[in-house]
Structure 1
């Protein structure tokens, strides 16, 4: 039994009855319709794969013009639907004309049952093959955007990470939705990829969506897909990230940044396990494992009404909270040496080592930007180093004094104040926010803005 949806449109009740008897044993849904007038409604409502379309509907008509008209209508509404033309008048020229307009095959009545079944089966297999190719093309396109991101491996020797590693091993074997919490730069994406790598879906793809960088105007199109002509730049049907990730894992980064209206749409998809492309009324079932991440205080946002509680319940079957780098002292030099080796190879400075004074400086610095800041610091140090990586290479003096030459731009002054507050508090962001007279959420947002 194939899952295909077949629509037969013919004004001959005997044809409809016979075709339905032959095909219903092999296909999940077989719909018969005697008048093409309802064809448009059915095409929009049902996920039709193949239409078996009569050429003539009016009594005595033999021109095939009606069939050509409805063939064009189907191709306008749903270009991906395969159409087999069905006529009692075997005109070769007419067959050629229908092929030019998009028909995939041509049956001459009266047909044998075996011929009908064979033709429909062949076309169905073609439809499924092309659908798979389109999905693979969409998946490849999504992956190409991520290919240069340089994802590393999860490196840790810290006891603070023991609980995280245990959680990963336990949750990876399930399909439970996971919410990863942590400050900017703590490695939330690495955790998501580690869960996927250890899951039963690891032969499929992990698709990432950075919701924080996604304009609200493109939210539905990017996540749920769109149909041709649904908006100005929609020049072809395109699957969204949910469809592309079907069978695999969907990683929604910065989920705390989406608006309430978009949260409602996301909740509907997660509840129904289906997506509806922009411009379509047809629901497409999805099978994805959802992993989300954010640095936002979601529970505080629920209290202020900026995040839906029911959406939080959908995405956090299991929560994993990553400790900041300042609480993973054992990992600082481990990660620093890892980045040092990587960038030394990239910039052709093999054999670089970090001097002892620089190591002490690395261990004593609070790393408000966490692993990402450490990575950037080591990259800069490798570029500036002439041999041994010194303390000056790793962390240039950050205790800036206001001089006549220092920038007085509002953005620069604000950034400097934030750096000093974070250093003064020893990396405690709650204390830093209080020192600056702003909320912790505002501090997070501004840290992201200034790359801290």
Structure 2
């Protein structure tokens, strides 16, 4: 027995009796109405899976117009219900009209029992498919809402930040490609998310991709997808980030760290607005809003031959430069208060405040790690503090970096950190070139940087 409900609407009692005998053992619930006027008072019509509706109810009338009228009424009340029309007067044009009005099938009286059961079962499967589509859409909507949720708002009142946000809001409604530049920790992804939130694609998904974490061998698979069996570990079909972001926004962070080979593949996808999965020859069209970000000087990299000029033109229709925290001094204390309240609540230390001398210390520091460093500094101070007032001694600042690391490193970790930083500086932030200088792979370099940032 199928877990479905059927509603039969027919004024012929012998028809109702015959369908009761035929359907009662096939479906969980079978209900009958002999007068179509009762449809208006049938409150559970949306819960019905299948309706069997007679085409004619008045004596001597066989035009089918009555059935079409009640079909429209049912469709208005419950658009997803599968309706099967029944009539003793078969005509092709009548069947076509019924299907155009939204019926899923047509049965002639007298019917063949096996054929009728097959028709009703097909209608039930269609109804289940519609239910599944509704569930999937609701789930998709919920997932998009979670993915698009920005848990770290853009905090600041400085004129420098205000100018950036004004430009972002001005171009957000367009679909132009945007390049966001700025030092590490300045909040480039927050700006990208704000652009998406203000865009016409805000109801669609925002997909961020850290290009620095993707190895060159997996570049195409990660961004364009692959087919099952395309390579050793391809155990199932997989869509890439481009396809996942279709109709939404794709954010490519650390784009300055791509090799020339991967730059060429990315350029092709952007130009053609299509992707080809690994193991396939079929081009898949994609509709995305592209936002890229980097802490590198791409113009200088172009002149040095390590970044493609044509790719730069493609991603750089609008350029947004995010200021460093030291350039927006008025925001240091605003951000400090925001993170102080956030972490005080998180760690159950409500009532904390920063005294004047500590505020001056925070304002005078250059914050080479920008907002991210400030966030970690405040969190560490909240965790370790003993009283309700945070003093200058509660804030451990990395003055060795601020003094350009003039002293000799005391540990191997410090030496490694300095070597990596020097390699990145010498190569203008390009991970591939820095890794080559250090004699390690780009992935190893990226892993070390992630460890250092913790």
TM-score using structure 1 length: 0.61
Kept in 1, the 8 Å contact 2:377–2:397? The answer is no
Q: Confirm or deny that 1:395 pairs with 2:382.
A: no
> 1:412: Cα distance to partner?
1.0
Q: Confirm or deny that 1:350 pairs with 2:350.
A: yes
Distance 1:301 1:364, change over 3 A: same
Tell me how far apart the structure 2 counterparts of residues 199 and 268 of structure 1 sit (CA, whole Å): 25
Tell me how far apart the structure 1 counterparts of residues 430 and 380 of structure 2 sit (CA, whole Å): 25
**Aligned runs of 1:378-389 on 2, under 5 Å?**
378-387=378-387, 388-389=389-390
Distance 1:137 1:170, change over 3 A: closer
Distance 1:167 1:239, change over 3 A: same
Residue in 2 that maps onto 1:165: 165
Residue in 2 that maps onto 1:279: 279
Residue in 1 that maps onto 2:191: 191
Distance 1:399 1:224, change over 3 A: closer
Residue in 2 that maps onto 1:219: 219
**Aligned runs of 1:39-438 on 2, under 5 Å?**
151-387=151-387, 388-395=389-396, 398=399, 408-413=410-415, 415=417
Residues 294-348 of structure 1, C-alpha deviations (whole Å, 9 max, x = no match): 0011111111111111111111110000110001011101111111111111111
Distance 1:139 1:183, change over 3 A: farther
Query: Across the two proteins, how many residue pairs are aligned to each other?
Result: 315
Kept in 2, the 8 Å contact 1:250–1:290? The answer is yes
Kept in 2, the 8 Å contact 1:291–1:315? The answer is yes
Secondary structure of residue in 1 paired with 2:204: coil
Kept in 1, the 8 Å contact 2:296–2:430? The answer is no
> 1:408: Cα distance to partner?
3.6
What is the alpha-carbon root mean square deviation over aligned residues? 4.0
Residues 35-57 of structure 1, C-alpha deviations (whole Å, 9 max, x = no match): xxxxxxxxxxxxxxxxxxxxxxx
> 1:275: Cα distance to partner?
0.7
Structure 2 stretches of 5 or more lacking a match?
1-117, 435-444
TM-score using structure 2 length: 0.61
Secondary structure of residue in 1 paired with 2:217: helix
Structure 1 stretches of 5 or more lacking a match?
1-114, 420-432
Secondary structure of residue in 2 paired with 1:151: coil
> 1:186: Cα distance to partner?
0.3
Tell me how far apart the structure 1 counterparts of residues 206 and 248 of structure 2 sit (CA, whole Å): 6
Secondary structure of residue in 2 paired with 1:372: helix
> 1:415: Cα distance to partner?
4.5
Distance 1:300 1:126, change over 3 A: farther
